[in-house]
Amino acid sequence: MDLETLNTLGPFLLWGGLILLMMRYGCCSHLLRGRGRHGHGPTGDAAPAGEVKDPVCGMGVDPKNAAAAAVRGGTTHYFCSVSCRDRFEQPAEQIANGSGQSGHQHG
């Protein structure tokens, strides 16, 4: 490879390597780990080790860092967001009749 080719391709290879590292280990790493439809939550039934599954959206949640929790039937459920917990706590009639929350947002 001559010097002119290296000067032309070098920056592209450098940027490509940085983007690859960012996708693998940085802010976009969740895209490569098989997350669900909305960019969160595992697609399978099993949550990663040490995590439990949010019963509303299916996202894997670390119980130590959960945004919210609720107890139902003697079992503690952990949630990725307060909105998921609020939706979980709504009476089933409200959800079935459509009088509950219309959109499901995390935040």
Please give the model's pTM, rounded to 2 decimal places: 0.47
Which residues have C-beta within 8 Å of that of residue 106, sequence separation ≥ 6?
40, 57, 80, 81, 83, 84
- The domain segmentation of the chain, as residue ranges, is 1-32, 38-107
Residue 42's pLDDT band, with cuts at 50, 70 and 90, is very low
- Whether 53 shows a pLDDT value over 60: the answer reads yes
Mean pLDDT over 8-32 rounds to: 78
**How many CB atoms neighbour CB 101 within 10 A?**
13
